[in-house]
Amino acid sequence: MADLKDLTNGSEMGKLGDFVFYMKKNEYEKISKMLTATFGSFKPIKGQERVSDAGGYEGKISLNGVLVLCPLDTLESLEDYLKARKPIRFTTLNDDVEVLLSSLTITQSHFLDNGNFTAQTYSLSLKEVYDEIL
């Protein structure tokens, strides 16, 4: 479990690997979790589809946030985690789990006359990794 002192000693909200989310800097505005049971199905040529429990479940976590007036490379380490395709630790006051970063969307907005932007929104999709899979 993460050291709660680290997450409560100021403006730190959580960590994804070495990437730290800070309040009023690169915070996430929304976090959502989804747990899905897995099923197998068989549909005969004639008749009703048959569904059976395949065992297990899948956990997904989504984060959304906005960066305002942050350096252009702020999200680069998240891109590196996605490309590495390896489990990393996601820690908040409520969670401490191993995850895979499955998608990252970055949108730039509020452009200035010189072409630079002042805001970026990001959306992360994480899949929980369970010990029996590793």
In a domain, 134, yes or no: no
Residue 133 domain-assigned?
no
pLDDT, tens digit, for every residue of 89-103? 998 888 888 999 999
Predicted confidence at residue 26, as pLDDT, reads: 61
Domain count, the chain: 1
pTM greater than the 0.85 cutoff: no
Q: In this model, does residue 60 exceed pLDDT 90?
A: yes
Residue 52 domain flag: yes
Cα distance between residue 125 and residue 50, in whole Å: 31
The pLDDT of residue 121 is 83
Q: What is the CATH number of the domain that holds 33?
A: 2.40.30.200
* Sequence-separated (6 or more) residues with CB below 8 Å from residue 78: 16, 19, 101, 104, 122, 124
For the beta sheet containing 88-92, the strands, ordered from the edge strand earlier in sequence to the opposite edge, are 19-22, 12-16, 88-92, 96-111, 117-128, 50-68, 28-42
Binning pLDDT at 50, 70 and 90, where does residue 1 land?
very low
22 within a domain of the structure (yes/no): yes
- Does residue 104 belong to any structural domain of this protein? yes
- 51 within a domain of the structure (yes/no): yes
Is residue 82 assigned to a domain? yes
> What range does the domain containing 46 cover?
4-128
What single letter denotes the amino acid at residue 7?
A: L
